[in-house]
Amino acid sequence: MSTADAPERATPRFEGAPPRLLLIQAPYYAEVVGGMRRGVERVAAEAGASLEVVEVAGAYELPAALRMAIQAGRGWDGFVLLGCVVKGETDHYDHICREAMAGVMAITAATGAAVGYGLLTVHTLAQAEARARDDGYNKGAEAAQAALMQVALRRRWGLG
């Protein structure tokens, strides 16, 4: 997919209380995740959402942190998860990516939480950097928009 193929999405606008988002980030590749975080911050600001940030050690810890955040009951309307896994020479990449993705999907499906998932699973660091730029192809911004769209849907249906 090139940047020309990236979908154009408008950031949702909210009436009533501004959304509260929790960003859970695994900054193993700090520059990449930092670039995606800037995208999240931009989209959150456009929506008038507040943003709290916590860090976990790596992508593998993202599902557990999401579960803990939901259980904490602190009134977050939605969650954005960011991380990056670059394929190496071993099958470690395959296991981490599969388990992190499956874990987040299971939690999201079971709870109906509004989640935007920005875990990059790439073959090279250059691929990750291309997805963390400050342009229209920032996967952090896309994850934030996805979370906010889910927040809007939950509110529309009286769930949040």
Residues designated as active site? 92
Query: Most distant CA pair in the chain: distance in Å?
Result: 50
> How far is it, in rounded angstroms, from Cα 2 to Cα 23?
26
Contact 118, 26 (CB under 8 A): no
Element (H, E) at 88: none
Closest CA to 26 of 140, 145, 133: 140
Tokens for 71?
């259980």
Phi, psi of 110, rounded to the nearest 5 degrees: -75, -35
| C-alpha to C-alpha distance for 97 and 13, rounded to whole angstroms | 32
CB 21 within 8 A of CB 114: no
